[in-house]
Chain A
């Protein structure tokens, strides 16, 4: 949209753009640039050594392993919850629907405490998962719960139910209809929600800091490794692992964007 004549922006357009660029640079770009520069302070080999140090590598491995598990758990349970919220009806459904957003509204450190009060050292139900990988999975499943639910829900609401009814009337069983008709429609939304959950999980700190236990090579995740590296004054190690985490997140989000673009194009071709 070309700027129309007569609608001058307050302060003038170029001043405005300059202001925006300066603001974004100081707050976002320069810190990330400084981080990247620091991670390569010892050259490429220095970066490589920092990332492949045994504890760093172990932390990255635990992070990815647990995040993949959580993402898959979300793909299944998130779709199931979205399904129940859209297609089922029961008293209290509205409350459940609002409750789904709670993990986004709740501070992550509170999520940690909340889960510890039930599954921690003085658990009233006798489940002790603090300082185990299960603890990490539960904490991350808690904070990433809304992603898949909220991306699948609107698609399910708009889905054409006539096709499903047609399949059923042609003799397809419930599971077959789901697999052949519903799942293909939902797949892009599930993948996008799962990817977002994964990207969030790999960088998560607050919710795992208390329940994870921070045991090197066991439950220490990358964000905890970074925090510790700063504390013991190894900034290059911290920066290198940070850049690796960033790279994983960017690649994930980039793949999602490309996949979404391709899906949209295919849809347009069909039309």
Chain B
């Protein structure tokens, strides 16, 4: 029952560095090692000095990237794996919370057609669905580092599974398969994680409508009861159909 005491001194390596330092040596080294091992399979990379590092790899090198991260670079800790759907979302665009697309429709206005241009984030991208995973090297005090790996998923929506490399990817890939419809080749058993087994559709896709949002456009704004005497104001936008409780509110 031996306990190990370690001091709490901040390691020089990974802690938040002063904003004045524009170069992040340690994180640049991480990117360089990925380039070294994967060659031109590293499509893009980004280092935000003192904060974080992203590496985007070609989708055919996805499992290879995991092997490099785990075996060559020592990132033995698997943090998470997920997917981003880059299809533009119609929600949250407007400055004024009461002018939401759905509200505008109720008020009879014709909203501008939503843009279909994909706006990719850090380290770029080309496809609608992008895979995202994070691994880290833990266990040596002062030597902690983590990296976010990304890969585009082409129209076949199939990519290599990480389970042979990180056993913990099992559940994460099941979740991604269920929520986004991305298939992982080599996964031991893609089964539903949360939803009933006869559920159709992939709820986390942007195209999958959030029914509660259709019923009640902007929670918190529209369900304010009108003051006595101003009954007609805001009714058009409010609880028009009187369906008070939405499914998302039913849980507590």
Decide whether A and B assemble into one complex: no
